[in-house]
Amino acid sequence: MSNLVVNNKGRGAQSDPPNRFEAHHEVQDPEYLEYCRNEGEEAGSNRTRFHLSDPKSIVNKVNSPDVGMSYSMNPYQGCEHGCVYCYARNSHEYWGYNAGTDFEKNILVKQRAAALLEKKLRSRSWQPETIVLSGNTDCYQPAEKKFKLTRACLGIFLKYRHPVGIITKNALILRDMDLLKQLQEMRLIKVYISLTTLDEDTRRKLEPRTATIKKRLQTITTLSQAGIPVTAMIAPIIPGINSHEILPLAKAAKEAGATDIAYTVVRLNGAIAGIFKTWIEQTMPEKAARVLSLTSQCHGGQLNDSRFGIRNKGEGPVADQIKQLIKIARQKYFPDPRPYTMNRDLYHERRTHHTRNEGDQLELFA
């Protein structure tokens, strides 16, 4: 059951589902909400709150066979971007928040992210594998302007000459071009820019606090001109909302300078199904039934899909049609994607030099 909220302008989720791990949850009184509307008062704060977090580790092993990465790290938990379809929403429940507006309004800031990353890279047992920033929540979300944790982590990657990938939909990444260029010179960086739609009205509804499409395309161009390889993530594809844009999106990505495209089909696991249903019924009521039906057709008749090897691409006629459109887009705009291999050798050289010259007694116990 989802509880509708008010004063949610500029947010993605339009509901606050109960946290599955909590015995109690807040229920808003319709009479009180009506009173607030009539009096012009706020029923609750729409401000974003930042909570300093102190985890013991920052680098996560990714065991899913559906994700093209071995390790990820997330300087922030929760994301102000507010993408209504975001699979990371469910993870916010582990921290005592709900997957709806709490995910967008309560951001956990892992203040020691850079120090924890350095500890990991200095460990004698660590073997260099590409670590991807934003395996869960966007490392360049608005909080990064204030806390600069992503920039600090890039500095650590550069210090240890270690390969790093970045997934984002925010033009804020261009702030760190000085570090990105240095990483690129050693073949240590690859960027993935999310490109969901070319229609600004759709973008504002789906991803309310993200960079505009124009800025994202400009970001791809700026990165590409600096020699940094960029893959455009046409993800997620939501049947009935942006599935008709696959070829135009691929064309725009190619013209902007992307070297390749990738895609996923939306899946609405856990609390996200209810959040998405409430959202689409309010924002796109004329499309709601069709979009939900087409999405369920990609996942065995359900909105929820946890099957490894299937869940990210779906199955059935609708998913097959999407797959074929992606194949056509690649053949037309990316017929010969340039291979790009991250450089792992420099990391060994840097770690050996660092240990020998700077030393650290704690290294003996790493």
Residues 219-243 have pLDDT tens digits of: 999 999 999 999 999 999 999 999 9
CA distance 28 to 43: 9
CA distance 242 to 232: 15
Q: Is the pLDDT of residue 361 over 50?
A: no
**66 alpha-carbon distance from chain centroid:** 15
What pLDDT sits at residue 285? Answer: 96
The mean predicted confidence, pLDDT, of the chain is 87
Q: How far is CA 215 from CA 44, 168, 259, in A?
A: 32, 12, 18
User: Tell me, what DSSP letter sits at residue 295?
Assistant: H
Token pair listed for 147: 């806390």
Q: Whose structure tokens read 């309010």?
A: 282
Residue 320 DSSP SS3: helix
Per-residue pLDDT tens digits for 247-270: 999 999 999 999 999 999 999 999
Q: What is the pTM of this model?
A: 0.85
Mean pLDDT of 278-305: 95
Neighbour order of strands in the sheet with 76-77: 49-53, 106-110, 76-77
Which are the contacts of 49, defined by CB distance < 8 A and separation ≥ 6?
105, 106, 107
Q: Whose structure tokens read 């990465």?
A: 69
Mean pLDDT of 267-289: 94
What pLDDT sits at residue 32? Answer: 43
**72 alpha-carbon distance from chain centroid:** 11
What pLDDT sits at residue 305? Answer: 86
H and E: helices and strands count for the chain: 13, 10
- Longest Cα–Cα distance of the chain, Å, equals 70
Q: Which residue has the higher pLDDT, 358 or 322?
A: 322
What pLDDT sits at residue 24? Answer: 44
Give the torsion sign (CA, 58, 63, 68, 70): positive
CA angle 125, 62, 344 (to 5 degrees): 50
Query: What's the half-sphere exposure (Cβ side, CA atoms, 13 Å) at 43?
Result: 19
Domain spanning 50-336, CATH architecture:
Alpha-Beta Barrel (3.20)
Token pair listed for 266: 């939306």
Q: Is the pLDDT of residue 12 over 90?
A: no
**What is the H or E stretch that residue 189 is in?**
strand 189-194
Token pair listed for 154: 């890039």
Mean pLDDT of 85-97: 90
CB 239 within 8 A of CB 322: yes
CA distance 94 to 19: 9
Q: Is the pLDDT of residue 171 over 60?
A: yes
**Confidence tier at 68 by pLDDT (50, 70, 90):** confident
**Torsion angle in degrees (nearest 10) through CA of 210, 211, 217, 223:** -100
Mean pLDDT of 288-298: 97
Percent of the chain with pLDDT over 70: 82
Q: Is the pLDDT of residue 289 over 60?
A: yes
List the one residue out of 222, 226, 233, 232 whose CA is nearest residue 254. Answer: 232
Taking each helix axis from N to C end, the angle separating 113-122 and 149-159, rounded to the nearest 10 degrees, works out to: 20
178 exposure class (CB count in 10 Å sphere: 0-12, 13-18, 19+): exposed
